[in-house]
Amino acid sequence: MNSGRSTEGNTIQKKGTLLIEDPILNKGTAFTEQERIENGLLGLLPPHVDTLDEQVDRAYEAFCDFHDNIDKHIFLRQLQDENETLFYRLLLEHITEMMPIVYTPVVGLACQRFSHIYRRPRGIFISYPERDSMDAIFENVQRDVDVIVVTDGERILGLGDQGVGGMGIPIGKLSLYTLCGGVDPARTLPIVLDLGTNNQERLDDPRYMGWRENRIKGAEYDAFIGQFVAAVKKRFPNVLLQWEDFASVDAERILDQYRNDLCTFNDDIQGTAAVTTGTILAAIAASGGDLKDQQIVMLGAGSAGVGICLQLKQAMLLAGMSEPEARSRFYVIDKDGLLHSGRTDLDELHQQLAQSPENLNGWDCDVSGAISFADVVRNSKPGVLIGATGQTGAFSEDIIREMAKHVERPVIFPLSNPTSRAEATPADLLKWTDGKAVIATGSPFDPVEFNGVTHTIAQCNNSYIFPAMGLGILASRARRVTDSMFMAAASALKETSPALKDPTASLLPPLTNIREVGRHIAKAVAAAAIEAGVADSVTPDEINQRIEQTMWKPEY
């Protein structure tokens, strides 16, 4: 039974159709005969009483009747709005097939078509004209909340500004909190901050459901975010607040401003960094290398790319390297070329990763001007190449073949999503490196056969990290989120890599093991929170007990 949701005793206040229409309490055809009598359901349901397994079989049959992924997404979202327990049991039993449908890559199309496929409200919408009514809006949420995921819809995946359609991301993320980390869905809240949109296609769409104005920016934007944080702290003082898909220019600033005010993190910056760091550490170890020997090229200098590099640099520092030495190992490239200290257009964040001129001595290119991606790869001879650009095909054959000349097992991570935005396909990367590349991607790809060997492609997906972070934070009752907690998560993820035992195996464990992986990472996160002094001081055994008590299971 789900705690606090039994239809026996006094735990349910709703009856009849109100009970059936509550997705948290609804059992549908699984209500027993006695429950139907006690809760005013006689005649409102078909007479046969189903088991949950029978309901799952029926729902899966209906799912398979749809052929287009967007239709499958709509079906699953509708099921979630009708019966959360059935929704999550179905997903758990078909997780490899269905996670790409409820989240990346299909959620990107769902965000683009949000106003056309909208069925039923979920979460809360806070538009700019309603900014002075935030307290009243939050009072309309008549339940306790442990986790909030919020977006302003400006940078949805690699698709850009989707306005109010960005709500698909918090809904999808919170589904993964429950699916992968066992966070109680009744205690989660998706939020979209509707500050307008600069996407003319959305503004011209007669079905668009958001505030039809161009985006609010500058001081007015910052004031709105401040109002939002204050309202969250007032209504939910102990909540975990995750920022999602904000423009890079805003994401870093918001995180820096509020990370010490409440328990909060930015998944694009910190979650992406942790999952990529953990996967790269596994890739290097599986290839027989060492992190301290790597030259790392990052194509893309947005919040995700910078966050990955800073966390990898921190891993190098923990391995005993000096700060200047660790910094010298990174070659970060934006639209204007390599970040180096001779450039005058770098902000404070990018200056942390700028190459010094002396490290470019002897390069066979003009280092006084823009230094191209191809020049960087040819001269730095990287062992690790990461893409976070959102630009299809940014990893060209010439560049990959150049990289493969200098390293035995090139580690290549095209991380952009959805799938259509990947910097390269795994099939091409294996062809261009004669099957030697060690690959993880941001979106799901099928296994690739090359020269008789089947390569399973790991999806370097944040779903390995942020649900486990949430579980560890809730179990330890952490009051803040520290960088050490994300480093602990990355290290724990590395430990679960099948490739450590079999170099031909996937770099990441299968999604069918995601809850076990989540438990392992959550324990490491909780221990790091306790060590940092931001959580309850409890023993490892007590943490294990709390984790099990915290994890919600999709059972009636």
CA distances from 204 to 210, 213, 487, 527 (A): 12, 11, 44, 51
Burial code (b: 16+ CB inside 10 Å, e: under 16) for 462-472 equals bbbbbbbbbbb
244 is annotated as contributing to ligand binding:
yes
**Token duo for residue 99:** 């996670």
Residues annotated catalytic, as ranges: 103, 173
| Separation between Cα atoms, residue 362 and residue 349, nearest integer Å | 27
Side-chain-side CA neighbours of 337 within 13 Å: the count stands at 18
Burial code (b: 16+ CB inside 10 Å, e: under 16) for 383-393 equals bbbbbbbbbbe
**Token duo for residue 224:** 């709105």
First to last CA, the chain: 5
Q: Is the peptide bond before 418 cis (omega within 30 degrees of 0)?
A: yes
199 is annotated as contributing to ligand binding:
no
Kindly report the backbone phi and psi dihedral angles of residue 93, in degrees, each rounded to the nearest multiple of 5, phi listed first: -80, -15
Strand partners, 414: 387
CA distances from 538 to 61, 174, 264, 532 (A): 46, 27, 22, 13
461 is annotated as contributing to ligand binding:
yes
| Separation between Cα atoms, residue 447 and residue 456, nearest integer Å | 5
| Separation between Cα atoms, residue 283 and residue 291, nearest integer Å | 10
Contact (CB, 8 A) for 303 and 336: no
In the block, which residue shows the tokens 């003319």?
200
**Token duo for residue 429:** 């990367």
268 is annotated as contributing to ligand binding:
yes
Can you say which residues are annotated as belonging to the binding site for a divalent metal cation? 244-245, 268
Can you say which residues are annotated as belonging to the binding site for (S)-malate? 155, 417, 461
Can you say which residues are annotated as belonging to the binding site? 155, 244-245, 268, 417, 461
